[in-house]
Amino acid sequence: MRPEFYEHFHPDERAFVDRAWEWTQQAGRYHELKRTDFLDPRQAHILSTLVNRHADVALRLDGGYPEAERRRAIIAPDYLPLEHEPAAIVVLSVSSVDRTLAELDHGDYMGAILGLGMKRDRIGDIHVHEDGCHALVAQEIADYMDVHLRQVHRVQVLTELLPLERLRTAQQQLEEMSFTVASMRLDGICSDVYRISRAKIVDPIRAGRCRVNWKQTEDPSQQLKAGDVVSIQGLGRFKLLEVDGITKKGRIRVRAGKFI
């Protein structure tokens, strides 16, 4: 890959860019089919960009259901039909027979799964319900998880593997808040959402712990817009839902939703 092509991506993304380009080259030159692990939306965008540069390569993204955030990619020569190629995704159903799981959240289930030694990219979206959760997982690890996942945050659980047609999705809950800001700067909005002083919120941003639309940024002055999704490691993530005009004092009214 030409060095100038890296200018389109963050330096921390170069390792993934190299892997994605290798997958694309293998499909185009050597007629190989590649099924990736789960990609976040930013990785999916990078891969799509690279595939679009190669006329002889086709790409399909599949997360198990149409609105999936995390999706597996199938990359192949363009003469291979991909619509019926299996994405190798199954539903891991987690439940309990003796007590409610309503107090458990997304982080509890994710922590239990990662505690089994699973890599994050083997796990797709997780849908939390009052009586448990449905987690989309790579078929390659499904049997192992079905046998070994027996506890989530000190709660004893049962598991079952289900086909995709039995997936129960859950609408992700948002804690909505409205406030005014002097500008659409990243640090100012994060300060209000996370209720941390502007001086302190700058540190994790400059340390590379912040992502805007799944793309890493170290610039506290980056301008946000409605629809942007922001996450800071250790603090959670939020979506900027609306930018709603200017107050009489010249401040910007915004509405944000923190994922809970």
Write down the pLDDT at residue 171: 86
Q: Strand 89-95 and strand 132-138: pairing?
A: antiparallel
Helices 198-206 & 186-194, crossing angle to 10 degrees? 110
pTM, 2 dp:
0.87
CB atoms within 10 A of CB 63: 19
Domains by residue range for the chain, with CATH: 3-77 (3.30.1370.160), 89-166 (3.30.70.330), 174-259 (3.10.290.10)
Write down the pLDDT at residue 117: 95
Long-range contacts of 10-17 (CB under 8 A, 24+ apart): 10/215, 10/216, 10/217, 12/208, 12/216, 13/42, 13/46, 13/215, 13/216, 16/43, 16/46, 17/46, 17/50
- Write out the chain's pLDDT in tens, 260 residues: 555 677 888 888 999 999 999 999 999 999 999 999 999 999 999 999 999 999 899 999 999 999 999 999 999 999 999 999 999 999 999 998 776 777 888 889 999 999 999 999 999 999 999 899 999 999 999 999 999 999 998 899 999 999 999 999 998 889 999 999 999 999 999 999 999 999 999 999 999 999 999 999 999 999 999 999 999 998 999 999 999 999 999 999 999 999 97
Write down the pLDDT at residue 161: 98
Burial of 200 (0-12, 13-18, 19+ CB in 10 A): exposed
Write down the pLDDT at residue 154: 87
Radius of gyration of the chain (CA): 21
